[in-house]
Amino acid sequence: MDPDVLNMFVIAGGTLAIPILAFVASFLLWPSALIRIYYWYWRRALGMQVRYASYDDYQFCYSYRGRPGYRPSILMLHGFSAHKDMWLSIVKFLPKNLHLVCVDMPGHEGTTRSALDDYSISGQAKRIHQFVECIKLNRRPFHLVGTSMGGNVAGVYAAQYPEDICSLTLICPAGLPSTTDSKFIKQLRELQESDSIDRIPLIPSTPEEMADMLKLCSYVRFKVPQQILQGLVDVRIPHNDFYRKLFLEIVDEKSRHSLHENMSKIKAPTQVIWGKQDQVLDVSGASVLASAIPDCHVYILENCGHSVVVERPRKTANLILEFLALLHSTDNNKKQA
């Protein structure tokens, strides 16, 4: 073979080998770094831009896509110990001309974490209102979406700041009493009885505990490689002390049933989406909301657990779009009447 041709193949092979080796090394040695790169790439591919907003000395981190238009903007509030990027799976199925905003909840990811902050549900709702005013999102009423803890905050927000929102989507929201104990609630009771409350199932510190948490939160069984489980744990461990403090705050009497205590004040049209096989928060909470909120539309998803956003992203995105279209059609009919 011609030496020049051989050299060309060697150079090409070396060029290809470097990124492959880098990927393998990251996967084996630094899986947490790979996870961060993954979210960065996904945000970039979907056109989501990260920005910061300040309220006095408090900083909010958020991502957004699009600009305010004739359709309501959408603000998304994530759940306990998650971050703004959890919504990317749904963003993928939403039109690019919709104005979307995903914010890191108080103390999470890029948003300020302070030992002096009020992490109760009403305290978080107040902080989110400050964020909304910072970016002037409430120049026009917007659609608010929240899941789990974020659903609790979203419901309380809708009750406390009704002029800010035009409609509401609650996905498996916390903050409701239940006639049926979920698997998670039973586990918590067992831990309390054995004085092992530090071992909260939603705060894993080993790959095995992370796998158990994923099984608890989802009906769909995802096959997650051990290295990825390790990476997910590595990302969370530095924040676990905060998560424990936050968890105790939101299950305290002050916050435990915040949504239930405020739901009679919710006047905006409300959509409730719940996984039928939710093992964290029992699906019976959907009927509690339906009986208390006048204009409430309930959708129960079969073969779906608590992680609705991850398990059924396309279906969830479509339900939100259909709900907004229904409200728009209703408004037009009222104007024409």
What digits encode the pLDDT tens for the residues 237-263? 999 999 999 999 999 988 999 999 999
pLDDT at residue 184 greater than cutoff 90: yes
Count of CA atoms in the C-beta half-sphere (13 A) of 266: 31
3-state secondary structure of 101: strand
How far, in Å, CA of 283 to CA of 152, rounded?
Answer: 15
* Domains along the sequence of the chain with CATH: 33-334 (3.40.50.1820)
Catalytic residue numbers? 148, 278, 306
Note the pLDDT of residue 21: 34
Q: Which positions ≥6 away from 242 have C-beta within 8 Å? A: 107, 113
Average pLDDT, stretch 22-42? Answer: 67
Q: Are 319 and 313 in contact (CB under 8 A)?
A: no
Note the pLDDT of residue 14: 41
pTM of the model: 0.90
What letter does residue 263 receive in the DSSP assignment?
G
How far, in Å, CA of 104 to CA of 86, rounded?
Answer: 10
pLDDT at residue 287 greater than cutoff 90: yes
How far, in Å, CA of 297 to CA of 203, rounded?
Answer: 32
How far, in Å, CA of 58 to CA of 130, rounded?
Answer: 10
* Other CB atoms within 10 A of residue 46 CB: 17
Core vs surface per residue 107-121: b (16+ CB within 10 A) or e? bbbbbbbeeeeebbb
Note the pLDDT of residue 223: 84
pLDDT at residue 12 greater than cutoff 50: no
pLDDT at residue 26 greater than cutoff 50: no
pLDDT at residue 95 greater than cutoff 80: yes
Q: Are 167 and 327 in contact (CB under 8 A)?
A: yes
Note the pLDDT of residue 279: 97
